[in-house]
Structure 1
Amino acid sequence: MCLGSPRVSPRRDILRGVVVLPVRFERSPRLHAMLSAEPHAVGTRVVVQGKRGPEVATVRGEASTPSDNGRYGTVLRAAGPEDLARWDDLFRQGEDLKWLLRARARERRLPVKIVAVEFTLDESLVTISYSAEDRIELGSLIADLRNHTRARVNFAAVGPREQAQMIGTLGACGRENCSSNHLQEFAPVSIRMARDQQLPLNPEKLSGPCGRLLCCLQYEHTQYLELLGDLPRKNARVCHEGSGACGKVTKLHPLTGTVDVHTEQGMLLGVPAAELRRMPDAPQGKGKNAEA
C-alpha cells in the first residue's frame, strides 16, 4: 500500500511565514491577536484590520507562532505619519460628535449617556457606544450625525464596567482603575468574597467607580480561602490551651492567623488559631425546654 504525502490544511498553509502580534486599542486594555507578515517592536503603532474595519492599534507584546485554531485579525502595515495624522483627526471629530450627541439627547430628554464615538480609519463606520438602563430608540440621533459624517452608524450598548473601562477613572487606591489599565476580561465578583476577606460590608467602600463591586476583590480570594481553612468558624466555641479560657469566636484575622475570642468571663482575647481547641457541642435535651 502506497502512502501519499501528508495533507496540509489550507489554513496551515496560509499561516506559514506569518507571526502573531498582541495589539491593544486605545479605549481598552484587552490584547487582540493579529497576524502579521513581519514582526514589529513593542510600542509600534500599526494599522490593523479588525471586526469593525481598519483601525490604529499599538503592539504590546513579542511576536509568537500562530496556531491552527486561533482567531486572528490582520496587521496591514506599520502606521505612517499620514495614518497617525488622520487617526488623530478622526479622534477629535469623534470627541466633538460625542458632546454634540450628548447635548441633543438632553434636549430630547433621552435617558441615555453617550460614552464614546469612534471612527474607523477609512471613515466608513462610526460606532456610538452608549449606556442606558432600559431599551431606548436612538434613531433620532442619526439625523444629527448626517450633518457631520456620511459614515455608516453602529450603536453599541455598554454596561457600567465597560463604560468605566472606556472612559478611564481613578480607583479608591489612587491608581487608574483596573478595567481600563490591565484587565483582559470581567470575572464574576460576589459579596461573598468581601465576607471571606473580613471586610466591612459597606457598599461605598466595596464599589468601584462603575458602581459595581470592586474587581480587585477577586485577586486574593483564593489565598483567603486557603488561610480561612486553618481557622475556626466564626461563632465556634473554643478554648485557649495556654490560659484555659473558653468562649466564642467573634472575628477572624486570616492574614495573621489569629482570632478574637469573647470569653465566658466577658474578656476579649486575640489569640493564634493554632493555640485553640474546639469545645464539644453541648448535648441538647429532648424536653420542652430544649433549644431549637
Structure 2
Amino acid sequence: MIKVVGVRFKKAGKIYYFDPVDIEISQDEKVIVETARGMEYGIAVVPGKEVEESDIIAPLKPIIRLANEEDIQRNLENKTLAEEAFKICEEKIIVHQLDMNLIDTEYTFDRNKLIFYFTAEGRIDFRELVKDLAAIFRTRIELRQIGVRDEAKSLGGLGCCGRPLCCSTWLGEFQPVSIKMAKDQSLSLNPTKISGICGRLFCCLKYEHETYEGILEYMPEVGSIIKTPDGVGKVLDSQVLAEEVKVLMDNKDTVDIRKFKAHEVQILKKPKKTQDSNVHEVEKELKKLED
C-alpha cells in the first residue's frame, strides 16, 4: 500500500494523485506540487489515503509544501495577469484575421508558460500570432485547441434541467456517451432533446446506464411472445425501471391487456429486428454527436 493525496488545479478539473511525503494534509488545503510542467498551485480534494500500488501510475510526483500567504497571493496575481492576457490575445486574433474562438488563458504558477485555450473548426496557422504574444509577454507561449465539451466545461452555463452544467461544477472527467444509452433508456432520438449546450449527447445519459443494462438483460423486448402466469401473450410496452411489461393476452374473443413483473414471465420468442429507414437516418446524425 502507498499513501497518496488527490489534488485539483481547476474547479471540477481532473484529480491528480501526488506523494504527500511526510506532510500531513487535510481536505481543501492549498498545496504546491511538482508536475510535468513545473511547480503548480492546487487544492487537496482527497486527503491522504492508502491505495494499492497497482492502482496508481508510478512514480508519483511529490507535494512540495502547504501553500503559504505568498503562494496564495501569487496565484491570485496569475489569474489577474491571465485575464489581461486574454484581452490582448483576442485583439491579436482579430489583427491576424484568424478563425478561432479564444476560451481561456492560464499562467503556470512560476509564470514560465502562458497557455491559451481555443476552439476552431479546423487547423489554424497561428505561428505569427505566437510570435506576437511571445514578444509581448516575454515567456513561453502555448496555444492549445480544445473540443466543444471542454469549451462548455470552461465557460459553464445551465442545462435543460435548470441546474449548472455537471461538467463545470463537479464532473472531473468526461465519459464516452453513445446513442445506445438513449435507446436503452427509451428516450426520444431527437438530437435537440438529448444533446447539451455543447452540441454533444448529454453526459447524464451515462449516469443510470449501468442500471438499465442490468435490467434489460432479462426484460423481454417489445414485440416478444412471452409466457405469463395467465397464459401466452405479446409484449406491447415495457417500463424498465419498474421492471414491468404490458402484455396483450392471446384471447381471440376480447382485447385483454395486463401488466406483469419481468421475473413472472418467460420469453418464448423474440421479435424480428427491423430498421425503419427514417430511424436509421436519425441514428446516423446522432452518431456525429457521440464523444
The TM-score with structure 2 as length reference comes to 0.77
SS in 2 for 1:94: helix
Residue 4 (structure 2) pairs with residue 20 (structure 1): yes
1:241–1:277 contact (8 Å) kept in structure 2: no
SS in 1 for 2:204: helix
> Match for residue 79 of structure 1?
67
> Match for residue 121 of structure 1?
109
> Match for residue 57 of structure 1?
42
Query: Could you tell me how far 1:125 is from its partner in structure 2?
Result: 0.6
Query: Could you tell me how far 1:266 is from its partner in structure 2?
Result: 9.6
Query: Could you tell me how far 1:136 is from its partner in structure 2?
Result: 1.0
Distance in 1, Cα, partners of 2:255 & 2:59: 63
1:33–1:71 contact (8 Å) kept in structure 2: no
1:260–1:268 contact (8 Å) kept in structure 2: no
Q: Can you list the C-alpha shifts for 1:216-274, whole angstroms capped at 9, x where unaligned?
A: 212221211222233211222357654x684x434321111223446788969461244
Letter of the 1:180 partner, please give it. Answer: S
Q: Which runs of 5+ in 1 are unaligned?
A: 1-14, 282-292
Match of 1:150 among 134, 138, 143: 138
Match of 2:164 among 156, 162, 176: 176
Distance in 1, Cα, partners of 2:153 & 2:116: 15
Q: Which runs of 5+ in 2 are unaligned?
A: 271-291
Distance in 1, Cα, partners of 2:81 & 2:142: 16
> Match for residue 288 of structure 1?
none
Higher alpha-carbon Rg: 1
Distance in 2, Cα, partners of 1:77 & 1:60: 16
Letter of the 1:185 partner, please give it. Answer: E
> Match for residue 151 of structure 2?
163
SS in 1 for 2:19: strand
> Match for residue 251 of structure 1?
237
Q: Aligned in 2, Cα 1:280/1:163: closer, same or farther, shift over 3 Å?
A: closer
Letter of the 2:148 partner, please give it. Answer: P
> Match for residue 214 of structure 1?
202
Query: Could you tell me how far 1:119 is from its partner in structure 2?
Result: 0.6
Residue 28 (structure 2) pairs with residue 43 (structure 1): yes
Larger relative contact order (CA 8 Å, sep ≥ 6): 2
1:171–1:208 contact (8 Å) kept in structure 2: yes
SS in 1 for 2:237: strand
Distance in 2, Cα, partners of 1:32 & 1:181: 17
Query: Could you tell me how far 1:133 is from its partner in structure 2?
Result: 2.3
Distance in 1, Cα, partners of 2:129 & 2:85: 11
Over aligned residue pairs, what C-alpha RMSD do you find?
A: 3.1
SS in 2 for 1:87: helix
> Match for residue 134 of structure 1?
122
2:30–2:43 contact (8 Å) kept in structure 1: yes
Letter of the 2:173 partner, please give it. Answer: E
1:115–1:130 contact (8 Å) kept in structure 2: yes
Letter of the 2:244 partner, please give it. Answer: T
Q: Can you list the C-alpha shifts for 1:138-187, whole angstroms capped at 9, x where unaligned?
A: 12322442454111011222122222223333333333323233334322
Distance in 2, Cα, partners of 1:36 & 1:278: 56
Q: Percent identity?
A: 30
1:20–1:33 contact (8 Å) kept in structure 2: yes
> Match for residue 235 of structure 1?
223
Distance in 2, Cα, partners of 1:30 & 1:216: 18
Letter of the 1:25 partner, please give it. Answer: F
> Match for residue 275 of structure 2?
none
Work out the number of aligned pairs and report it: 263
Distance in 1, Cα, partners of 2:215 & 2:247: 18
* More off after superposition, 103-112 vs 191-200: 103-112
* More off after superposition, 265-274 vs 127-136: 265-274
Distance in 2, Cα, partners of 1:257 & 1:190: 23
> Match for residue 276 of structure 2?
none
